[in-house]
């Protein structure tokens, strides 16, 4: 049972929905659950606000912290819907297992998100590219300094209205010094530390005029993995190619999966395979590199205008026909404008039987 305490001072009236910056204003409520004595307890939704933390709390020292990112939109007739929450619930537990954290029951994960989104549905922005971004996360809360898996955790969910993550086509730098993920590591999970480790390379790339880095494999700096903020797709001679996630060094993106499904359904040839940066260079030289785009919950589908690798710049003078098509399709599904033929939308309508 989720205990609900509603805010007496909702803020959505004062929020400027015409000028949304990603993740800067939080919705009115948050979900919290505590893991104690081997079980999840004290499930509650409260007004959004600061936490009191013990300075020796383990997540602050050893980074035992994971998260998810998903989105809720409203269909054209006003029903709040969450995009593929069960797949996010599954991935949250894949992350939890790898980071020696307790799993959070998938039905409870979806129920908590549904209840929170239903309560804060006034925060869901309307229009293409706009959504309520939902951020579930789990942190280790044992207050002690020995290095071990914590016994206690907090699982929380907060929400923030979101517009476009990238306002225009971006420039990427293929990273040849730093690496993100090696085989056997944690590249395939949404661990907070993966993002912390990407910050310095991203800052250095920014100083050189790039928006993000494109990660290459840790052994040879040859095979493409993903971008710091999203998965990556290439269109080469009419074929859509994206790095395979089999080596467990790349995040199994939910938007990535949605794009593959949509494009295959529309008859496009899609390949998930090992893909080297040299192959992209060769395609660029041969004139067969037609599109590059990123995919992610935050980024949705983001076009890449330039990719630099060593001394080469692969410039895309492209209409981005496939990226535009798939982005439009995702937007239309989320807004209920086309049939939800893959059953990806989950209505966020309050079920009074579980709420007190």
Instruction: Tell me how crowded residue 122 is: count the other CB atoms within 10 A of its CB.
Output: 14
Residue 53 CB, nearest distance to ligand COI (Å)? 22
- Kindly list the residues in this chain that would bind ligand COI in the complex (CB under 6 A): 69, 229, 296-299
When computed from its CA atoms, the radius of gyration of the chain, rounded to whole angstroms, is 21
Selection from 163, 164, 162, 159 nearest residue 26 by Cα: 159
Look at the alpha carbons of 202, 208, 212, 217 in this order and tell me if their dihedral is positive or negative.
Answer: negative
Burial class (CB in 10 A: 0-12, 13-18, 19+), 109: buried
Instruction: Tell me how crowded residue 222 is: count the other CB atoms within 10 A of its CB.
Output: 14
Concatenating the DSSP letter of every residue in 181-207 gives --TTSSTTS-BHHHHHHTHHHHHHHHH
Q: Which helix (H) or strand (E) holds 45?
A: strand 39-47
Kindly tell me which of 166 and 223 has the beta carbon lying closer to ligand COI.
Answer: 166
Kindly tell me which of 171 and 289 has the beta carbon lying closer to ligand COI.
Answer: 171
Kindly tell me which of 120 and 142 has the beta carbon lying closer to ligand COI.
Answer: 120
Residue 229 CB, nearest distance to ligand COI (Å)? 4
Residue 313 CB, nearest distance to ligand COI (Å)? 24
Token readout for 248 is: 């467990």
Residue 167 CB, nearest distance to ligand COI (Å)? 14
Kindly tell me which of 141 and 297 has the beta carbon lying closer to ligand COI.
Answer: 297
Kindly tell me which of 192 and 241 has the beta carbon lying closer to ligand COI.
Answer: 192
Residue 69 CB, nearest distance to ligand COI (Å)? 2
Contact, 232 vs 208, CB < 8 A?
no
Residue 352 CB, nearest distance to ligand COI (Å)? 30
Kindly tell me which of 227 and 292 has the beta carbon lying closer to ligand COI.
Answer: 227
The crossing angle, in degrees rounded to 10, of helices 106-119 and 85-98 is: 130
How far is it, in rounded angstroms, from Cα 233 to Cα 252?
Answer: 13
């Amino acid at each position: 049972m989720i205990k609900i305490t509603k805010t007496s001072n909702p803020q959505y009236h004062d929020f400027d929905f015409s000028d949304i910056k990603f993740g800067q204003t939080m919705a009115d409520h948050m979900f919290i659950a505590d893991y104690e004595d081997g079980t999840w307890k004290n499930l509650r939704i409260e007004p959004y606000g600061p936490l009191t933390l013990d300075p020796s709390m383990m997540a602050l020292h050893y980074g035992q912290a994971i998260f998810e990112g998903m989105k809720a939109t409203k269909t054209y007739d006003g029903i709040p819907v969450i995009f593929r929450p069960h797949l996010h619930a599954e991935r949250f537990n894949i992350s939890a297992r790898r980071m020696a954290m307790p799993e959070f029951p998938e039905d409870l994960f979806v129920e908590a998100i549904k209840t929170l989104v239903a309560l804060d549905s006034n925060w869901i922005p309307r229009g293409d590219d706009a959504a309520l971004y939902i951020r579930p996360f789990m942190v280790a809360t044992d207050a002690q300094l020995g290095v071990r898996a914590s016994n206690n955790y907090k699982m929380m969910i907060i929400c923030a209205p979101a517009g476009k993550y990238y306002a225009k086509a971006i420039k990427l730098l293929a990273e040849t010094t730093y690496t993100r993920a090696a085989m056997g590591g944690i590249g395939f999970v949404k661990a907070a530390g993966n993002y912390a480790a990407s910050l310095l390379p991203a800052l250095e790339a920014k100083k050189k005029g790039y928006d993000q880095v494109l990660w290459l494999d840790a052994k040879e700096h040859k095979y493409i993995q993903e971008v710091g903020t999203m998965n990556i797709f290439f269109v080469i001679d009419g074929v859509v190619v994206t790095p395979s996630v089999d080596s467990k060094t790349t995040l199994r993106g939910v938007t990535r999966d949605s794009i593959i499904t949509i494009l295959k359904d529309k008859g496009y040839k899609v390949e998930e395979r090992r893909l080297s940066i040299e192959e992209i260079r060769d395609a660029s030289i041969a004139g067969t590199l037609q599109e590059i785009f990123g995919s992610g919950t935050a980024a949705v589908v983001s076009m890449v205008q330039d990719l630099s690798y060593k001394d080469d710049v692969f410039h895309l003078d492209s209409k981005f026909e496939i990226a535009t098509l798939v982005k439009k399709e995702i937007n239309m599904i989320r807004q209920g404008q086309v049939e939800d033929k893959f059953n990806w939308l989950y209505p966020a309508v309050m079920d009074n039987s579980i709420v007190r």
